[in-house]
Structure 1
Amino acid sequence: MRKVVYGINLTADGCCDHTKGNGTPDIHVYFTDLYKDVDLIVYGRKTYELMVPFWPDVAKSQSGSPTVNAFALAFDAIDKVVFSKTLQQAGANTRIVREDLAGEIARLKQQPGKDISIGGVDLPCQLIALGLVDEFHFVVQPYIAGEGRRLMDGTFLPEQLNLKLVAFKPLESGAMALHYTKQ
């Protein structure tokens, strides 16, 4: 069975607002490496529109640093599913799904293939609450934002979710990559 893997950048105080982070080269390398085991990315509309067309454009133009370009190429090569009731069209290698989040993710997990990566905040929080996320990659950046959205704000969990730390990696920027599995 395929695993659903959630990766996100956080500040030391738990802020997950993308405008509060910094994309250092080591963080791009970390997430590029994660994509080696992924053949499907799942987003909600908001995150999808933040990522596309930006990363596909960088993949085509190769206009970033070497680490940014490598991430863009990895991202662009992976098929995507976007959950949205309002998005009218999507980019290349992307399918729009309008309903049944839990059922669709359960079906995708049963299909053959590599891991399924999820990103953003709203959709992953829903999947965490439904018990459908298998692994977590939190990259904790070495600063305190003091404001901004926190992961799991407003999300009700039917019970506490216990995680097991399976790996950690200090990054050159001072960030710490933490890899957890669901217990």
Structure 2
Amino acid sequence: MKKLDTQNFKCDEMRNLVYAINLSIDGCCDHRKVGGPDDSMLDFWINLVRDAGVLAYGRITYELMVPYWPDIAKNHSGQDKGDIDFAEAFDSVDKIVFSQSLNGVEDKRSRLVRTKPEDEILKLKQQPGKYILLGGVALPSQLIALGLVDEYYFVVHPVIAGEGRRLMEGIPLQERLKLKLVDSKVFKSGSVALRYMKN
């Protein structure tokens, strides 16, 4: 199986908005039910984050990631190499968090945005730089419905959750969205990373 390309998703005219998520076979996106990346796929996630120009999150996902990963980047004590590498990659990239309820952000690489997410994403897409990496469920669902997501990485874990949050719940699409499979990789764990582009 060829190596999954996680390098530079820039297109000629605009930066790409790339969505990446772990999910179960039955479509659950809840990390507590799906589980996180294991050792066999950690390099994939490290490279995806490290090669991004900006990380974009809603409040809930942001608070899962910060201060947890920046703290590990500052203090390696008791951490394994994979977690340290991911933490350092995460800590080195600028982040934006979309929230009306947060009072502020403490992380030096983070910026709070209170405007409509689509307005800020369109601005970012027109700026030079590497791709914008989008995480979470609610915010990506809104941006998918607006047609702003260019690429998708679905990492499907060999788990049937039987419950839990799904992508696009309660958010209608104007029309069915067709995607084109452009790459895939099978990990030792049995998880599969699928890379799709908008048709």
**TMscore range, shorter length:** over 0.9
Q: After superposition, give the CA deviation of every residue in 1:43-82 in whole Å (9 maximum; x if it has no partner).
A: 0011100110001111112242211211111011000010
Q: d(CA) in 1 for partners of 2:59 and 2:124?
A: 18
Matched, 1:7 2:14: no
1:150 aligned residue: 166
Give the Å deviation of 1:143.
1.1
Cα distance in 2 for residues equivalent to 1:3 and 1:15:
25
* Distance (Å, rounded) in 2 between the aligned partners of 1:12 and 1:64: 30
What's the TM-score once normalised by structure 2's chain length? Answer: 0.89
| Alpha-carbon separation, structure 1, partners of 2:99 and 2:137 | 14
Q: Does 1:176 align with 2:192?
A: yes
Residue 66 of structure 1 corresponds to 81
Matched, 1:116 2:116: no
Partner residue of 2:34? 21
Deviation at 1:92, TM superposition (A): 1.2
Q: Does the CA contact (< 8 Å) of 2:94 and 2:110 recur in 1?
A: yes
Alignment partner of 1:75 is 2:110:
no
Greater per-residue helix proportion: 1
CA distance, structure 2, for counterparts of residue 5 and residue 12 of structure 1: 21
Greater shift in the superposed pair: 113-122 or 152-161: 152-161
Q: Which of structure 1's runs of 4+ aligned residues deviate more than 3 A?
A: none
TM-score, normalized by length of structure 1? 0.97
1:4 deviation in Å? Answer: 0.4
**Structure 1 gap ranges (5+):** none
Give aligned-pair identity as a percent.
Answer: 54
Q: Which residue of 2 aligns with 1:47?
A: 61
Counterparts of 2:79 and 2:113 in 1: how far apart (Å)?
31
Match status 1:35 vs 2:49: yes
Give unmatched runs, 5+ long, in structure 2.
1-13
